[in-house]
Amino acid sequence: MTVTITSPPLQPSLDKKVFLPTFILVIVIGVFLVLKPEQAEILLGNALQIVTRSFGWLYLVAGVASISVLAWLAVSRYGRVLLGAPGESPEFSTPSWIAMMFTAGIGIGITNWAFVEPIFYFQSPPFGIEAGSPEAAEWAHMYGQFHWSMVPWALYALPALPIAYSLYVRKQPFCRISTASSGILRGKSGNWLGIGIDVIVILAIIGAAGTSLGLG
């Protein structure tokens, strides 16, 4: 007789060390945005200007660096690391994986922005170019290639690797950026630095979702 032993499913729980500071920050920021909309608009506008003017170069460098690191990982010994149990077969075929990565990565984005983005850059071109000019039309078709080429894929794939490694190799029961960063944190993902990483990630997700909702 064969006896199958199954472990009970992991029950969801609330990590108060991550939830409480995130909740408090969201409430404080939300109240400020509602009660002081003019001041909030000025503050956020200034923050946007500082980030784009002072760190725009860093975004470009990070994109190129991500492509370089991923290319190195692909040809190095780390490219042979199996994201799963030893000897485990892939759940899906290679064409299926490619289709899923494409549709999840840029499928809906390129559907929505394929026509809107060139028009946006034509009316509001970068680098001080005159709106509606022939040069603006040229840039409108070129600038979008930066958003829909290998650069965004690299920015998606690089953080996905440690997350996949923690889930499918280390068999972590939950997905946290602090857990995926345990190698850098030297296994101390539960300390204040790991908690801070999770709080920042959650705030970024809420901010991104709120921005998308606000822009329609």
Task: Count CB neighbours of 104 within 10 A.
Answer: 10
Distance CA 21, CA 173 (A): 23
Q: pLDDT grade, residue 133 (50/70/90)?
A: very high
Buried b (16+ CB within 10 A) or exposed e, 30-48: eeeeeeeeeeeeeeeeeee
The closest alpha carbon to 192, from 18, 19, 5, belongs to 18
State if pTM tops 0.75: no
Amino acid at 112: N
149-190 pLDDT per residue, tens: 788 788 888 988 989 888 888 888 778 888 888 877 776 666
pLDDT of residue 215: 58
Question: DSSP secondary-structure letter at 143?
Answer: T
- Confidence band of 13 (pLDDT split at 50, 70, 90): confident
Kindly tell me if the per-residue pLDDT of 128 is higher than 80.
Answer: yes
Amino acid 62 reads A
Query: For the segment 14-72, what is each residue's pLDDT rounded down to a tens digit?
Result: 888 899 999 999 999 999 989 998 998 899 889 888 888 888 889 889 989 999 999 99
> Does position 4 have pLDDT exceeding 60, yes or no?
no
CA distance 54 to 50: 6
Give the residue carrying structure tokens 């075929």: 93
**Exposure string (b/e) for 57-79, b if CB count within 10 Å is 16 or more?**
eeeeeebeebbeebeeeeeeeee
Give the model confidence (pLDDT) of 19-32 as tens digits: 999 999 999 999 99
Q: What radius of gyration do the chain's Cα atoms show? A: 22
